[in-house]
A and B are shown apart, each in its own frame.
Chain A
Amino acid sequence: MSASQSAVRSRAEAVKVSRTFDWMILFTLFFVVLGGYHIHYMLTGGDWDFWTDWKDRRLWVTVAPIVSITFPAAVQACLWYRYRLPFGAIVCVLGLLLGEWVNRYLNFWGWTYFPVNFCFPSNLIPGAIVLDGIMLLGGSMTLTAVVGGLAWGLLFYPGNWPIIAPLHVPVEYNGMMMTLADLQGYNYVRTGTPEYIRMVEKGTLRTFGKDVAPVSAFFSGFVSIIIYFLWHFFGRWFAKTDFISSENL
């Protein structure tokens, strides 16, 4: 025993303190991840997530999962290996979505008056639950990376389709055909986002004809596997306790 006295006097008190720590850690984790993940996603996914006229079947489907599997992989590594808690992915995504909704609602709509039906965030929750579920059921990083990473990429488009499909209904506008999402982008003037910076429907997957979304999703899933490994190791490194010797604990 060390010279210092124990801070708690009974088992009941120990349980209470431990529980208090639980809430504090979870609360802090949630908001710190929310902040970091949100900034990361904004810088990498940015406009693809901001506007419906960027949510296409090629690039959005490819880019969004790849850049968003990062934090879930890292936090999962930390929570699983240190605590066997399989909610790393969902806690990240719930945080991200809360931050995004606050931002879109208060700033995009409340401050700048872009309609919410034009600037809502992408749904990442199905992929997060499956990623956590596979981690729990398999208990293996490799399995989670391969099966979970692929699922993360594959579930993204169908998970968002019920929300964006209504905006892909075509309309004839002054002699041109466009989707309602294109029309939103045209109607609701963005001075800082001219049409040419919109990266949609570009790429070399032309031979697949109109069935390009599943191909993009598969590709995205494969890259997500690699990114998962990478960020998983970041997470494990971050969760290391080597630098604290056990005597001090």
Chain B
Amino acid sequence: MKLLKDKVAKLSFVALLAASSAAMLYTPTAAAHGEKSQAAFMRMRTIHWFDLNWSKEEVKVNDTMTVTGKFYVFAGWPETVDKPEVSFLNVGIPGPVFIRQGSWIGGQLVPRSVSLELGETYEFKVLLKARRPGDWHVHSMMNVQGGGPIIGPGKWTTITGSMKDFVNPVTTLTGETIDLETYNLDNTYFWHALWYAIGLAWLAYWIRKPMFIPRSIAIESGKSNTLITATDKKVGMAFTAGTIALVAFGMTSTNAKYPITTPLQAGLLRGMKTFEMPAKTITVKVEDATYRVPGRAMQMTLKITNNGDSAVRLGEFNTASVRFLDSAVLEDTTGYPDDLLAEDGLTVSDNSPLAPGQTRTVQVTASDAAWEVYRLADLIYDPDSRFAGLLFFFDAAGKRQMITVDAPLIPVFI
């Protein structure tokens, strides 16, 4: 007997642990550090983030910061990824370390999903309020239905202070100001505790008497009708009627207390305002492009024609949020994340100003460890081995033009 008991106890304990812990350990996805593991072509040929700016590097709890910038929805969007017809401007942070106080595309608040057009540029802004102290990587991010999250560049930001001080005051349309951080919490605990207690009472009524073996024996010997007494039925009636009455009471008293409620709001926002980029007067043709695996460098031969009225120089090549600059033309002053910035990563065989009406063929090399660190070189293993990116040209007055490139890429292994 003792042996059997021990065995049952041991087995049930193992089963209990396995079964009950599996679900209880579930945690919602919070990390947003997937940028490096995302397929290179996804990052190069979907959403191009540029002009990003993180307003602060250090924020106190309850203070706000913004992430602003633009994104270009690539015209050569890959066939394998669903078009961004239903997209959500998100922010890649490890859980609610900041709260999102606002997010805008082209000046329009976007708490809902939006429809984006291929080949268009949009301006965005995300307003964040610091909640939980720590060092956090803050990314811009676009979720695309059927395409997954498309993560933009991330920058380390420090939140100082204490989460205990965090408040999230909101004024409702019924004129009440509440703290959404703790609002309705006591009410939630109250109702859950009350109902749990009633449920336990019902269970307790039945388990105080002998249960499994004697009742099973009684049923097998045909005495099942003796097992439910008149008192049992009365108690059952009381619990059933009491439950219905309490639900009805809860419903009516709640409606009296909250006469004004509205359904959840949802729906797709269309016709987002696009950002007008300066007219393009430069054309670029990619003659060929190779990626030198040992040198971690991409080399392309570009045929550039300037149809504008001022001389231009190539200042930047931006792909998958990695910026390769020619420091003679452009220097970053926005505090762009170091790991994504190759200040001298762009070499142009002849980067003297290209006069209006002229055409020139140049060799452009974009080299930096970022190719490996950000696993961009992996695109040579993609089914459709193409690269894409943004070229920024500048004239003497600093006027900028953005040209997109999209061409096959040949790897060079030796």
Which residues does A use to contact B, with CB under 8 Å? 7-8, 15, 17-22, 24-28, 31-32, 34-36, 38-39, 42, 50, 53, 55-57, 82-87, 90-91, 93-94, 97, 99, 101-103, 106-108, 111-117, 120-121, 123, 125-126, 128-130, 132-134, 136-137, 139, 155, 158-159, 161-163, 165-184, 186-198, 200-202, 210
Contacts and interface: CB of A to CB of B under 8 A. Distances in A.
A200 B16 contact: no
Given A84-B227, A99-B23, A175 B109 contact: yes
B255 to A, nearest CB: 7
Given A31-B16, A84-B227, A180-B172, A99 B213 contact: no
B203 interface: yes
A32 B195 contact: no
Given A114-B95, A166-B187, A103 B172 contact: no
B251 A158 contact: yes
B199 A176 contact: no
Nearest to A133: B240
Among A53, A188, A195, find the residue whose CB has the most chain B CB atoms closer than 10 A: A195
Contact of A169 (B246, B260, B265): B260
Nearest to A31: B16
A182 B172 CA distance: 13
Interface residues of B, number: 113
A90 B178 CA distance: 35
Contacts of B93: 189, 191
B394 interface: no
B184 A113 contact: no
Contacts of B101: 187
Interface of B: 1, 5, 8-9, 12, 15-16, 18-32, 86-88, 90-93, 95-102, 109, 111-113, 131-132, 141, 143, 145, 149, 163, 168, 170-174, 176, 178, 180-185, 187-188, 191-192, 195-196, 198-200, 202-203, 206-207, 210-216, 218-219, 224, 227-228, 232-233, 236-237, 239-240, 243-244, 246-248, 250-251, 253-255, 257-258, 260-266, 268
Contacts of B172: 169-171, 180
Among B31, B213, B237, B260, find the residue whose CB has the most chain A CB atoms closer than 10 A: B213
Contact of A194 (B113, B185, B212): B113
24 contacts: A18-B213, A22-B211, A57-B264, A85-B206, A108-B28, A115-B181, A115-B185, A132-B202, A136-B232, A158-B247, A161-B251, A163-B187, A165-B255, A166-B184, A166-B187, A170-B260, A179-B262, A179-B263, A187-B99, A191-B31, A191-B91, A193-B28, A195-B143, A197-B145
